[in-house]
Amino acid sequence: MANQWLGLTTVINEGANLTKDTDGLVDKPLDQPLLTTEARSPLRTEVAIAMTLVIVVLAVILWLLRPPLDLYTQSVLNLSGDPVQGRSIFVMNCVACHGEWANGKVGPNLHGVSDRKSDAKLVHQVVSGETPPMPQFQPSPQDMADLLSYLKQL
C-alpha cells in the first residue's frame, strides 16, 4: 500500500516537472505562487463586481435599443377592444383548433395565455403564422384588438 502511494507521488512529481520544463512557455519557475491567496481574492471580488456592472449596463442598453413595435401592433394596442366582439371572431376562426371554450384541441388551452405572453406577443402569434398548423390571420386592427381583449379575459 505504502509503495503504491510512493509510486503515485513519483508519477505526479514527474508530471509537474514536465509542465515546468516546456520550452520557454513558462519562463518563471512555478515553485512560488505568483500571487498569494490573500492578495488575489479582493482583486477577484473587484473584477466580479466590475463584470456584473458591465453586464447590467449592457442589459439596460439592449433594453433601450429594443426594436420598436411595428405599426400594425401599435395601432392594435392603441385601440380598445370589445371582448364580446372578440368572442364571435374567436368562434368563427379559432374554435376548430382551440375548442369551443378555448380549452384546447389541436391547439393548446388558451386560458391564462395572457399571463404567459405579452399583448404584443399575442398579436404576433395570431398574425405571424410562425407556428404551423396555426394559420396566419390578417384581422383588421379593430378585430385584432377585440380578439386580444377576449384572449386576455380567458
Q: Can you give the binding site for ligand HEC, defined by CB under 6 A?
A: 90, 93-94, 96-98, 106-108, 110, 113, 116-117, 122, 125-126, 131, 133-135, 137, 147, 151
Minimum CB separation of residue 24 from ligand HEC in Å reads 58
C-alpha to C-alpha distance for 15 and 24, rounded to whole angstroms? 17
Minimum CB separation of residue 92 from ligand HEC in Å reads 8
DSSP letters of 33-89? -SS-HHHHHHHHHHHHHHHHHHHHHHHHHHHHTPPPPPHHHHHHHHSPP-HHHHHHH
- Closest to ligand HEC by CB, 49 or 110: 110
- Closest to ligand HEC by CB, 40 or 121: 121
C-alpha to C-alpha distance for 30 and 127, rounded to whole angstroms? 64
Minimum CB separation of residue 149 from ligand HEC in Å reads 12
